Chain A
Amino acid sequence: MRFVDEFRDAGKARALAARIAALCEPGRSYRFMEVCGGHTHTIYKHGIEDFLPEAVRLVHGPGCPVCVIPMGRVDDAIAIARQPDVIMTSFGDMMRVPGGQGSFFDAKAAGADIRMVYSPLDALKIARAEPGKRVVFMAIGFETTAPSTAMTVLRAAADGVDNFAVFCNHVMIIPAIKAILDSPDLRLDGFLGPGHVSAVIGCRPYEFIARDHGRPLVCAGFEPLDILQSVHLLLRQLAEGRAQVENQYSRVVPWDGNPKALRVIGEVMEPRPYFEWRGLGFISHSALRIKEAYARFDAERIFDLPGVRVADPKACQCGEVLKGVLRPWECKVFGTACTPETPIGTCMVSSEGACAAYYAFGRFSRERVREASRT
């Protein structure tokens, strides 16, 4: 497959692995956080840890859109979906996310009209086709997906599709990274920057990480060689005593981002004073809401929402996993009480969640496989 196979070349991977190993100082260990859930998925899916020396550990970060949605917001969305003449639309990833009173799948089985869509424009299409219904789009994601939500609102406004609305849960990556950096119980040596988010916001917003915190960040692509090359770039910075923002994913990420996409977000949305993140708690100016000018498309204004904060289940340690303090298997309920089929925490739901990715792809002992291959 063109444009894919080039980035999955096993020979190049081995060469990079050798260069990575050569850059590691003896006796030193390195912890790099991949901020984005898409990276986590790639790392496990292709078995990238097999290429890294033991001294280099990848720590999974908070950049999984589904994982950071708090239970109360799921309950609010289900409350909207249960209203008469409402069609709730959502990306497939959201369907199994548990709220305080079940998931979208459960609500759908109980009679709510909840449909999976691939894009907010599909939701708008449904709204046009069913003028007698109110069609609500459950908008989730970082700056990656916010522009398409905003564009859809603009389209609805321009075409007068007044039965369309957005339940806005868009979040922003920089406040989350700040929260991680301020977390006292975490030692990180550098970051793999989120490639897709950066395609929108560019590389400049990360400069404070290098400047104020002395940590290097490399904006990384999503193919396995991208990840290895980015790890190599991080190690090279550390070896040379540098802490800078570098762009490995320049084929997609412009240094200054995508001004048009940023303009569209700014036209339709504005930062909320604060927003609750699953496991991370309330973070100020960390999420987006629909602006007053587009209030008629804002589900939070149209519907009377319960807005009840639901505490995470006691056993759930998603917060520690999202911050990279715990590895998935170190959570008390991982794989026993909390599994992909019966998730307690969101990290076990989305394929980009660290727990789900580890459970589905990485749940084996490398040591044991090595032993088995020797016999």
Chain B
Amino acid sequence: MSLEESRERQVLDRIERVRRRRPRLREERVTLAHGAGGKATNTLVDAVFLEAFRNPLLEAMTDGATVTAGGARLVFTTDSFVVSPLFFPGGDIGDLAVNGTVNDLAVCGARPLYLSAGFVLEEGMPVDDLRRVVDSMARAAARAGVQVVAGDTKVVQRGRADGCYITTAGLGVLTADVELSPENVRPGDAVLVSGPIGDHGITVMLARGELDIDADLASDTAPLHELCALLLKAAPGTRVMRDATRGGVATVLAEIATASEVAIVVDEAALPVRPEVAGAGELLGIDPLYVACEGRMVAIVDGTDADAALAALRAHPLGAGAALIGRVAADPEGLVLLNTAFGGTRIIDLLVGDPLPRIC
């Protein structure tokens, strides 16, 4: 190793030490970056919410909390939906609100059972629109086999909400004896994704109509509970599952690598990305790896289970486009490496703010 390489390595090691420190919230006000699902969001959650509510269940920072009540192991979760526009190709805020919470339960290994739904409605919202949203929630709930058993409605003045916001909470039950956690991830494990990535985020961005780009795309919003159950059955060595929502597949992988202190090596050529998504991403300067999906999951399974896991996913219509995208390695720990399709190597890190288009 040359002197220069050893100097660079010292700097890189120092940076990794800094990265493992607890982040500090410096801003005096909440900015949009705090809602983008990347580092800023994590900092806000850590400094404000975790600080105030601190308990072992919350500290795990998983998609849902696993609680024991009356001998049953239950998973409890919540999610809020503020998507604009309310209606987009392939779905609307209603099925998103149901599927999002169903999926948080499903990737924890639970069978989703009950949801609550809270509505914040803007004065002036057409009742027909509201009905459309709620009908689509009902259909999504039926598809996922859950019941909406509690709810709340508030109306705010015109201009104080963008049509409607929905918060759902969900309860599921753990039937099988599963222990899913990023801490279980080991070198040699296989990394899978259940289908093409980035469809939802790109669809919604284009549906806003600000970009004058047309593409034949639809949101991937869908319930993942059947897919998750199939995977757990086919691959008992499943370490962890995550739905790749805000921040996309990249964010999920980066969080798992950090939490499990392993390296994840992803093969760019193996990533399933529709040409329309790749094309829009090129034009906008957005990497599909960071774009939200609402019906895709990332799973890490024992390397010897990889083929069985892939076959199980592909047997289900929602997993037809599933792919093995990478492997877990021991080193460099905490980092996600991407072998680019071009033949080079780079890392994949958490996103800092909004996935904003570059300007030139």
Question: Which residues of A come within 8 Å of B, CB atoms?
Answer: 1, 4, 8, 10, 13-14, 38, 41, 44-51, 65-66, 91-93, 95-96, 105-106, 108-110, 116, 118, 122, 140-141, 144-145, 196, 224, 329-330, 334-336, 339-342, 350-352, 359-369, 371-372
Contact = CB atoms under 8 A, between A and B. Distances in A.
Nearest to A329: B11
Given A1-B278, A1-B279, A335-B18, A44 B346 contact: yes
B12 A92 contact: no
Most buried by B among A51, A93, A334: A93
Interface of B: 1, 5, 8-9, 11-12, 14-15, 18, 23, 26-33, 39-40, 43, 210-211, 263, 275, 278-279, 282, 285, 329-332, 335, 337, 340-347, 349, 352-354, 356-360
Given A10-B341, A372-B329, 8 more contacts: A45-B346, A47-B343, A92-B357, A93-B356, A224-B342, A329-B8, A334-B15, A350-B358
A110 B29 contact: yes
Given A8-B341, A367-B1, A351 B358 contact: yes
A48 B345 CA distance: 8
Contact of B282 (A4, A351, A364): A4
Contact of A109 (B5, B27, B360): B27
A341 B23 contact: yes
B8 A365 contact: yes
Given A38-B360, A122-B210, A360-B349, A105 B32 contact: yes
27 contacts: A1-B278, A4-B279, A4-B282, A8-B341, A38-B358, A45-B346, A46-B342, A47-B343, A50-B345, A66-B359, A95-B353, A106-B31, A109-B29, A109-B30, A116-B356, A118-B210, A122-B210, A140-B359, A329-B8, A329-B11, A330-B11, A336-B15, A341-B352, A350-B358, A360-B347, A364-B345, A368-B9
Contacts of A366: 345
Nearest to A352: B358
A14 B343 contact: yes
A145 B341 contact: no
A105 B5 contact: no
B343 A51 contact: yes
A47 B340 contact: yes
Given A38-B360, A118-B211, A361 B352 contact: no
A276 to B, nearest CB: 21
Contact of A369 (B14, B345, B359): B345
Q: Which 9 A-B pairs give the minimum distances between C-beta atoms?
A: A47-B344, A92-B356, A335-B15, A109-B29, A361-B346, A10-B343, A340-B352, A50-B344, A372-B331
Given A118-B210, A141-B360, A329-B8, A364 B343 contact: no
Nearest to B23: A341
B346 A93 contact: no
B331 A342 contact: no
Contacts of A372: 263, 329-332
Contacts of A51: 343-344
A372 B264 CA distance: 12
B8 to A, nearest CB: 6
A14 B40 CA distance: 39
Contacts of A140: 359
A365 B352 contact: no
B343 A50 contact: yes
Contact of B346 (A92, A196, A362, A367): A362
B90 to A, nearest CB: 22
A105 B31 contact: yes
Contacts of B330: 372
A1 B277 CA distance: 10
Contacts of A339: 18
A196 to B, nearest CB: 6
Contacts of B360: 38, 65, 141, 144-145, 196
Given A1-B279, A108-B31, A141-B360, A365 B12 contact: yes
A363 B342 contact: no
B278 A109 contact: no
A224 B40 CA distance: 31
Contacts of A145: 359-360
Nearest to A109: B29
Nearest to B275: A1
B39 to A, nearest CB: 5
A48 B344 contact: yes
A51 B346 CA distance: 13
Contacts of B33: 96, 105
B329 A41 contact: no
A340 B349 CA distance: 11
A10 B76 CA distance: 47
A13 B27 contact: no
B9 A367 contact: yes
A227 B345 CA distance: 16
B345 A47 contact: yes
Given A92-B357, A141-B359, A334 B27 contact: no
